[in-house]
C-alpha cells in the first residue's frame, strides 16, 4: 500500500493479451500458494457495462500461472434487486456468464463481515477479504452519481463491506440544514444534481426521497448552513477501502472501457460518456484512480464532473490524507 507522496507505479496498456507484461511490475509471486479473492462488481441485472467474463478468465489464468488459487468475489447489496442475497447474487453471476466453465474458478459472495477500525470509525469488512492476505482488484471505471467516478477505491469502499456498513456510509452523507445560518441564496439548489432542493425568498425545502447524499449542496453552501449527518461519503469510502486492503498485498486492474454515466449497479447506466481507452495496473488504489482520471481527462476533459456534477478527486484527496495510498505516480506504457 502506498504512503502519501510515495511515487508509485501505474502501468498503462491497451491490449489485454499483454496483461502478463503489465503485471510483471508488481509482486504477483507473493500470491503463490494463496487463496486470492478477485474482487469484482458483477453488474446489476440489465446493466451492460460491467467487466465481462472473458476479461475475468484472462486475469484468473494469470493468477494461476503465478501459482495462486483465485476465486471471483463480491458482496451482497443493501437495496432490493438481483444482488440482495447470496443466492440472488449467485444466480445473477450465472446469468452474466461468471461460471466455473467460463472463468475457471468459483464465485464466492459474502453477506457478513468483521468490524475494522479506521480513523476512529468502524467498517465491517467482508469475511473473505478480511481473511485474505493477497487480493486482486478488478474494477470497471464508470461515472457515479455520488462520487463522480467509480474505480478501485469505490470497488472496496462500497463493494468490500457488509450491507450494514454500506447503509452507514450512505446515511452519513445526507445534509442537515441550519435555518438560522441560511441566507436563501439558492446556491445549494443549483448545485444539487437531483433537484432535491427548492429555495425561494424565505423557504428552503428538502425532498429526502430525491436525495442521494452526494454532498454537492454541503460543499457549495457559502454560509455553512448545511452539514453532513456524519461526514462526506467520499471520505467514508476511502476509509472503508483502507479497512479492506490495509496490511495486504493487493494488485489493482482498472478497465477503462464502456465508461458510462452511471454505476454498474444501475440497470440504466448509459450513455457511454468517453471512448474506450484501455487498462491500468498498480499496487496502489489511490495512484491507479488518479491515473485513471488523468488518462480519461486527456480524452474527455472533466467528463465526470460535467456529467455527474460531482468532483471525483475528493476520494483521491481523502485517500492520500488517511494513508490509503499516494496520488503521485509514475506512468509506464507497455
Ligand atoms: S446554499 Fe446555504 S445559504 Fe444558500 S440557500 Fe442553500 S443552505 Fe441556504
Ligand atoms: S446531498 Fe446531493 S442529492 Fe442530496 S440534496 Fe444535497 S446535492 Fe442534492
How remote is the CA of residue 15 from the centroid of ligand 2, in Å?
39
Confidence (pLDDT) at 22: 98
Residues in a beta bridge with 307 = none
How remote is the CA of residue 58 from the centroid of ligand 2, in Å?
40
First to last CA, the chain: 23
3-state secondary structure of 47: coil
Of the ranges 60-64, 261-265, 267-271, which is most confident?
60-64
Q: Which atom of ligand 2 is nearest to the CA of 210?
A: 3
Confidence (pLDDT) at 267: 87
Say how far apart CA 226 and CA 244 lie, in whole Å.
Answer: 31
Over range 286-304, report the average pLDDT.
Answer: 97
Residues 198-230: tens digit of each pLDDT: 999 999 999 999 998 888 999 999 999 999 999
C-beta 183 within 6 A of ligand 1: yes
Is the overall model pTM greater than 0.85, yes or no?
yes
Q: Which atom of ligand 2 is nearest to the CA of 226?
A: 6
Other residues' Cβ atoms within 10 Å of the Cβ of residue 69: 14
How remote is the CA of residue 222 from the centroid of ligand 1, in Å?
7
Say how far apart CA 11 and CA 50 lie, in whole Å.
Answer: 21
Over range 133-153, report the average pLDDT.
Answer: 96
Cell numbers describing residue 159: 463493494
Confidence (pLDDT) at 2: 43
Over range 149-177, report the average pLDDT.
Answer: 96
Over range 158-162, report the average pLDDT.
Answer: 97
Confidence (pLDDT) at 7: 80
- Looking at per-residue pLDDT, the higher value among 203 and 2 belongs to 203
Task: Please name which of 25, 38, 82 lies closest in space to residue 64, comparing C-alpha atoms.
Answer: 38
Say how far apart CA 108 and CA 95 lie, in whole Å.
Answer: 15
CB of 118 closer than 8 Å to CB of 243? yes
pLDDT(318) > 60: yes
Confidence (pLDDT) at 1: 45
Residues 32-54: tens digit of each pLDDT: 999 999 999 999 999 999 999 99
How remote is the CA of residue 315 from the centroid of ligand 1, in Å?
24
- pLDDT-based confidence at residue 4 (cuts at 50, 70, 90): low
CB of 160 closer than 8 Å to CB of 244? yes
Residue nearest to atom 8 of ligand 1 (CA): 182
Confidence (pLDDT) at 17: 95
C-beta 225 within 6 A of ligand 1: yes
How remote is the CA of residue 165 from the centroid of ligand 1, in Å?
30
Residue nearest to atom 6 of ligand 2 (CA): 217
Amino acid at each position: 500500500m502506498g504512503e502519501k507522496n510515495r511515487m508509485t507505479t501505474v502501468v498503462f496498456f491497451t491490449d489485454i493479451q499483454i496483461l502478463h507484461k503489465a503485471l510483471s511490475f508488481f509482486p504477483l509471486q507473493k500470491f503463490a500458494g494463496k487463496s486470492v479473492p478477485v474482487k469484482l462488481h458483477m453488474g446489476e441485472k440489465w446493466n451492460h457495462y460491467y467487466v465481462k467474463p472473458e476479461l475475468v478468465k484472462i486475469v484468473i489464468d494469470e493468477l494461476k500461472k503465478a501459482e495462486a488459487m483465485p476465486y471471483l468475489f463480491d458482496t451482497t447489496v443493501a437495496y432490493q434487486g438481483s444482488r440482495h442475497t447470496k443466492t440472488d447474487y449467485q444466480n445473477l453471476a450465472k446469468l452474466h456468464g461468471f461460471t466455473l466453465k467460463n472463468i475457471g474458478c468459483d464465485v464466492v459472495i459474502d453477506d457478513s463481515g468483521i468490524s475494522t477500525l479506521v480513523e476512529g470509525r468502524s467498517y465491517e469488512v467482508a469475511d473473505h477479504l478480511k481473511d485474505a492476505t493477497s487480493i486482486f482488484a478488478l474494477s470497471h471505471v464508470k461515472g457515479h452519481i455520488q462520487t463522480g467516478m467509480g474505480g478501485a477505491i469505490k470497488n472496496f469502499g462500497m463493494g468490500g463491506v457488509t450491507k450494514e456498513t454500506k447503509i452507514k456510509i450512505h446515511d452519513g452523507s445526507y445534509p442537515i440544514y441550519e435555518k438560522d445560518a441560511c441566507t436563501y441564496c439558492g446556491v445549494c439548489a443549483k448545485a444539487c444534481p437531483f433537484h432535491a432542493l427548492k429555495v425561494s425568498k424565505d423557504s428552503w425545502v428538502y425532498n429526502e426521497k430525491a436525495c442521494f447524499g452526494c454532498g454537492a449542496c454541503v460543499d457549495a453552501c457559502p454560509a455553512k448552513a448545511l452539514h453532513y449527518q456524519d461526514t462526506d461519503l467520499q471520505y467514508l469510502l476511502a476509509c472503508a477501502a483502507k479497512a479492506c486492503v490495509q496490511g495486504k498485498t493487493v494488485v489493482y486492474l482498472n478497465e477503462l472501457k464502456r465508461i458510462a454515466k452511471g454505476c454498474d449497479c444501475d440497470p440504466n447506466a448509459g450513455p457511454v460518456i468517453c471512448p474506450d481507452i484501455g487498462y491500468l495496473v498498480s499496487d496502489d488504489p489511490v495512484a491507479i484512480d488518479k491515473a485513471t482520471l488523468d488518462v480519461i481527462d486527456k480524452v474527455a476533459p472533466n467528463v465526470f464532473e460535467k456529467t455527474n456534477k460531482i468532483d471525483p478527486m475528493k476520494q483521491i484527496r481523502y485517500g492520500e490524507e488517511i494513508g490509503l495510498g499516494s496520488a503521485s505516480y509514475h506512468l509506464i506504457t507497455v
